[in-house]
Structure 1
Amino acid sequence: MRSLLLLASAAALIAVPAAAMQHDAHANHKAHDAITAAVAAPTRTATNTPRDTYRHPAETLAFFGVEPSDTVVELWPGGGWYTEILAPLAKSGGGTLYVAAPWERGLNRIKEKQTADAATYGAVKLAEFPGTGAGSKVPDGSADVVLTFRNVHNWRFGGTDKAADAFKQIFAMLKPGGTLGVVEHRLNESDDSAKEEKSGYMKKSSIVAFAEAAGFKLAGESEINANPKDTKDYPKGVWTLPPNLTEGDTDRAKYVAIGESDRMTLKFVKPAS
């Protein structure tokens, strides 16, 4: 009898982790399906979808662990390339999406989307970032995930203090254990750091330093958005490459063949305690 009890106890100990693993696998599968559906959303702009080949949105969001039920903050959404994916993703799972940018000109393109398609974008919340008091901010400790795509260089253009303050404000937005996902044009570590001030490229070490100074821990990195063809030595910076092509017709075929920039994909976490 004692042997049977020991065997039963051992089986129970094995079954609990197995059940937990099955639950996690099921949750991951559901999140994957939701992200795939959001990337395929018919509401996306037709000129945006061809850029998926460079930006790998499904793989990027999966790497950052975004789930449809999350409260997600997208910083400086610009024309809304990622918003077109994140809004239907949040809607599908009952999540919340904030878009946060300089108040309020940085949000005008998103407002246009809300007016044109309230069914898709009407629930998107608008917030000011960096916060100055001009508009409402993302409540402290409310976000599961904060995402920024190719924006850290813009904060750096305002000086190192502005960049440092941006990371501190992001840290405040997140719940303990929350994730910061960063995609940014990557400057070679051997290059002169002064290039960060005008080229649009940033060193990984610089971003990690800003994040760690704010309290974040680097939790992972991916080469999903890497592009080894990018030589990063253009007089007009990263904007020489698609989609901007600032050189116009000069060497256009060359730059189109290179494609969009070499990008680092960094995942940071706010410590749980």
Structure 2
Amino acid sequence: MRSSLLFALAFSCLAAPLYAQTPTALPPTTPSSLADALNDPARGTDRADDDRRKIADIMAFAQVRPGQKIMELIPGKGYFTRVFSAVVGVTGHVYLVWPDEYAKEDAEGLAASRSLLTDTHYGNVSVLNQPAAQLSSPELVDLVFTSQNYHDYPDPFMGKVDLAKFNKQVFAALKPGGLFVIIDHAAPAGSGMQDTDTLHRIDPAIVRKQVEAAGFIFDGQSGALRNLDDKHTLKVFDKSIRGHTDQFIYRFRKPA
């Protein structure tokens, strides 16, 4: 009962307006499983980035809980992976999806994911290598999560994935009531997908339109990574903005 109350309190603060400011410190209502995960010594230097990357806010927004099955798309060096693994615990599982096309561009990231497989501390983690246009999961999952990579899927190096089909594949991978959480770099309003392969940004409005068209219900948004000083005109790798871009965080739910 106490655990359920903590979750209810933690998530009640999420019904804020778009890009509302959220606390950077770990809230007192954060469930103990998340607090323990964030303080896991195995995370090492990851913790130095927690305030900038708003990990506590994002995990609460994604409603990550013990025992869940999670599919993380293009996990990079595993910053989110290590927290997912610790929160879901031995009764849960984390599937790391590496599209073949993306893996060719990020051998270091793929190696980082594979290294987790040799560490018993991450015994609940698996790596899935598959074509970008053929997303699939070994079982239905509670959460599909992607950070800063939705915009990559339609680009030439990924084979110009049809996002209508991609979002339907995500829909099929989720349990009824499951969540699809997308974090990405914001492009100018009305720009659609014109900046995905140049600035590595995407218009939040087109993302919402595409995902809802696949049958999802828009379930919330967070402003934890909002930066009003970002004019949306620079490539996300530009030194003046890298690591501090204006990012939207959307949550979609598959109808129960």
Q: Normalising to structure 2: TM-score of the pair? A: 0.79
Residue of 101, 109, 123 corresponding to 2:112: 109
Deviation at 1:137, TM superposition (A): 4.0
Separation in 1, partners of 2:94, 2:83: 11
Distance 1:84 1:200, change over 3 A: same
* Pairs aligned (count): 229
Distance 1:129 1:35, change over 3 A: farther
Per the alignment, residue 42 of structure 2 pairs with 43
Residue of 72, 75, 100 corresponding to 1:74: 72
Separation in 1, partners of 2:131, 2:208: 19
Structure 2 letter corresponding to 1:25: L
In the alignment, does 2:129 pair up with 1:128? yes
- Which protein has the bigger helix share? 1
Q: Give the secondary structure class of the aligned counterpart of 1:82.
A: helix
Contact 1:157 1:198 in 2 (8 A): no
Deviation at 1:45, TM superposition (A): 3.7
Deviation at 1:189, TM superposition (A): 0.7
Separation in 2, partners of 1:176, 1:192: 29
- What is the RMSD of the two structures over their aligned residues, measured on CA atoms? 2.7
Deviation at 1:100, TM superposition (A): 1.1
Q: Superposition pairs for residues 57-68 of structure 1, below 5 Å?
A: 57-68=55-66
Q: Normalising to structure 1: TM-score of the pair? A: 0.74
Per the alignment, residue 88 of structure 1 pairs with 86
**Alignment gaps of 5+ in structure 1:** 1-18, 246-254
Separation in 1, partners of 2:170, 2:56: 23
Residue of 16, 19, 24 corresponding to 2:4: 24
Deviation at 1:130, TM superposition (A): 4.7
Structure 2 letter corresponding to 1:102: P
**Alignment gaps of 5+ in structure 2:** 11-28
Contact 1:31 1:66 in 2 (8 A): no
Distance 1:45 1:167, change over 3 A: farther
Distance 1:111 1:265, change over 3 A: same
Identity across matched positions, percent: 26
In the alignment, does 2:137 pair up with 1:138? yes
Contact 1:73 1:97 in 2 (8 A): yes
Separation in 2, partners of 1:156, 1:109: 25
